[in-house]
Amino acid sequence: MTIKVGDTIPSMKLMVATADGPKETSTDEIFKGKKVVLFAVPGAFTPTCSAKHLPGFVQNADAFKAKGVDTVACISVNDAFVMGAWGKDQGTGEKVTMLADGAAAFAKALGLELDLNARGMGWRSQRYALVAEDGKVTHLGVEAPGGFEVSKAESILAVL
């Protein structure tokens, strides 16, 4: 079943890259008591993700803060090392938290997994963005296959 507005983000572990290496975090730590924008990409360093999706959130980080967003986070089915390297390459700094969903467990828990096994990419996440307040989803925009409209930074800013 796919997560929907009104649902609570499932409690589970994720990984984040730090200067000291990968560190475990939890969705409870990320979402509890905060207003969070989480966007998911099918893969780090992939064309649309690197040219448009992540850069839009980095460029609009101050606008999200101005609208009361505590955390902007990017998640992908990659390991923490890849997410850390991609964040460094994209200049995310403190603007966007880079989360690793290495085995697609989070994507599957949300019902937003994407089967790209036939294309040699394994299980991935669909492209989406959500807004959650204290762990409860208040907005969800899931892209149609190949789409990039409802999950881009400007679209999410418009609903805040």
Q: Which positions are catalytic?
A: 49
User: How far is 114 from 136, CA to CA, in rounded Å?
Assistant: 23
DSSP string, 1-19: ----TTPBPP--EEEEEET
Residue 143 has φ and ψ, to the nearest 5°, of -75, 145
Among candidate residues 86, 94, 153, 106, the one with its CA nearest the CA of residue 12 = 106
Among candidate residues 143, 119, 118, the one with its CA nearest the CA of residue 130 = 143
